[in-house]
Amino acid sequence: MTALVISQTEVRKLLPMDACIDLMAEALATLSRGEAINPLRTGIRLPNDLGILGMMPGYMERPKALGLKVVAVFPGNHGTEYDSHQGVVVLFDAEHGVPLAIVDASEITAIRTAATTGVATRLLAREEATDLAILGSGVQARTHLEAMRVVRNIERVRVYSPNREHRERFATEEGQRHEIPVIATASAQEAIDGAEIICTTTSSSDPVLQGEWIASGCHVNAVGSSVRFARELDTAAVVRSRLFVDRRESTVNEAGDFLFPKKEGAIDDDHIVGEIGDILLGNLSGRESPGEITLFKSLGLAVEDLAAAHYVYQRAEAEGIGTAVDLGGLKHAPT
């Protein structure tokens, strides 16, 4: 029996953003239909807040996929040659449990996170939105710019990062890559002034986006924090917004952007309008007026990793990409 090992470079080649956005829409709909198992993630925090080692197992019916992501999140990697997310997605055959593939998780995470945001933005942002603000200048900032350009006709981008060199490099490189104006600003407030879509993709533990800065009619994607002890949005930003999530259970247990305002008594669980999957299934309306502020809180789900890895595995098999290794146990293994 053989399994495929699929590298970061190969994932990037096999998982285009537009295809991944459609994959994430189907994965979220599958979850909301009750055709998936997606337990809360588990993990260990390393001493001195060095990082987190997390495990995200899951199963889904459409496509039929079984597996887990094991990921090490090291915030100290920001600004270095290393991605902050290191790990693998392991796929298993859903009939016999045989390992099928080991897929690089850094690129899976980078692409599927932005693609999920793309799904939410396609459903919630105003159709005519063209002005994008990005807070953060790392991997997720790069893939989110790509995803936003798939779902909306982005004409102008402003980016802010506390590190001047990082934000200016992002503006130069991504402006050239996408052939649109990307402006590096000196503050977060300047970046989001009048923006119609905002993506927060930082590693900050404290709010970087204040509610009073957000223009009417804006759509906000809060992406950077996936733990209960950190948030990117202040309480006012959450209170002012109609809040949609990738998964309600995950949000009320893991999302600092939601839990801090709740602890302060500013909101309760009913502030969550619903899951993106419910909009996709027609059970819930998205944006209801041009002037309202909509907010998508992204935490990242195992079913997203599985859907992306399953697609990559199928394409790799079809195109002869990846490295085959002997894996899987037989009851009577040959000697």
Predicted confidence (pLDDT) per residue in 133-175, tens digit: 999 999 999 999 999 999 999 999 999 999 999 999 999 999 9
Q: Considering the chain, what percentage of its residues have pLDDT values greater than 90? A: 87
pLDDT over threshold 70, residue 75: yes
Nearest of 246, 262, 259 to residue 295 by alpha carbon: 246
Residue intervals of the chain classified under CATH 3.40.50.720 are: 127-297
pLDDT over threshold 80, residue 256: yes
Nearest of 199, 205, 198 to residue 227 by alpha carbon: 205
Task: Give the DSSP letter of residue 222.
Answer: E
* CA-based max dimension of the chain: 70
Helices of type H across the chain: 8-14, 17-32, 105-124, 139-151, 164-178, 188-192, 235-239, 248-254, 256-263, 276-280, 302-319
**How far is the CA of 280 from the CAs of 19, 59, 330, in angstroms?**
17, 20, 42
> Hey, what CATH topology would domain 127-297 get?
Rossmann fold (3.40.50)
Lowest mean pLDDT among 14-18, 80-84, 104-108, 309-313: 80-84
Residue intervals of the chain classified under CATH 3.30.1780.10 are: 2-109+302-326
Which residue reads 């859903």 in tokens?
94
Q: Which pLDDT belongs to residue 166?
A: 95
Q: Indicate the CATH number for domain 2-109+302-326.
A: 3.30.1780.10
To 5 degrees, how large is the angle CA 241–CA 140–CA 222?
Answer: 10
pLDDT over threshold 80, residue 81: yes
Distance of alpha carbon 31 from alpha carbon 61, whole angstroms? 9
Q: How confident is the model at residue 210 (pLDDT cuts 50, 70, 90)?
A: very high
Nearest of 198, 303, 184 to residue 240 by alpha carbon: 198
Q: Which pLDDT belongs to residue 66?
A: 98
Predicted TM-score (pTM) above 0.85? yes
Q: Which pLDDT belongs to residue 73?
A: 84
Average pLDDT of the chain? Answer: 95
Q: Considering the chain, what percentage of its residues have pLDDT values greater than 70? A: 98
